[in-house]
Structure 1
């Protein structure tokens, strides 16, 4: 997901272009421009909630982006490891293992 400071988020546009204009609109304008910018939770907290939901649902494709985004929003690598370990007991061990594998891949690419 990339951000264009002039027009807001462009991740939906980059992913789908003209193929799925509705998905582009709701991803870029509603989810990331409106929901993520609400004052009720910090971006750090929103990232932890999102990581928890995606882990619980086993959505590793989306976790690839959101684990990195969580780090940009101030969640440390160690906090992510701990959150995923904790989630494994509530969301199912296979989902925890899948999420930890995604995080490991991200960390190894950073090194």
Structure 2
């Protein structure tokens, strides 16, 4: 992807505006415009890798966003549940339980949005 092309990602800008311009730049321009757009892995696969890393490290604040993003990238609710169950054995039961709690809330919130 050339410097002129972007995905239009503005999550960093929305979160931090002018408060943390360096973090905004690396989030929007490098992470989402470059890393997430690399062709060697699909966005679906990148989502699963990201969910695994966030679950393993207990980063549930970031996990909420990435579970929703994974669904946009083609990961089904059942696949997300199965991935988190599998991860619980490798990352520790508390991390798996915490991640599943985040997914459950996300699914429930989406159900509320559809009403």
Which of the five TM-score ranges fits, normalised by the shorter chain? over 0.9
SS at match of 1:9: coil
For the residues of structure 2 that align with 1:17 and 1:54, how far apart are their CA atoms?
24
Structure number with larger C-alpha Rg = 2
Counterparts in 2 of 1:79 and 1:35: CA distance versus 1, 3 Å: same
4+ residue runs of structure 1 moved beyond 4 angstroms? none
- The aligned residue for residue 35 of structure 1 is 35
- The aligned residue for residue 63 of structure 1 is 63
Structure 2 length-normalised TM:
0.90
- The aligned residue for residue 83 of structure 1 is 83
Judge conservation of contact 2:7–2:33 (CA < 8 Å) in 1: no
How far off its partner does 1:7 sit?
A: 6.6
Judge conservation of contact 1:8–1:29 (CA < 8 Å) in 2: no
Query: Which structure 2 segments of 5+ residues have no match?
Result: 1-5
For the residues of structure 2 that align with 1:80 and 1:89, how far apart are their CA atoms?
15
Structure 1 length-normalised TM:
0.93
For the residues of structure 1 that align with 2:39 and 2:82, how far apart are their CA atoms?
26
**7-16 vs 66-75, greater mean Cα deviation:** 7-16
How far off its partner does 1:8 sit?
A: 1.7
Query: Which structure 1 segments of 5+ residues have no match?
Result: 1-5
How many residue pairs get aligned? The number is 107
Deviations 1:49-108 (A, max 9, x none): 000000000000000100000000000000000000000000000000010000000000
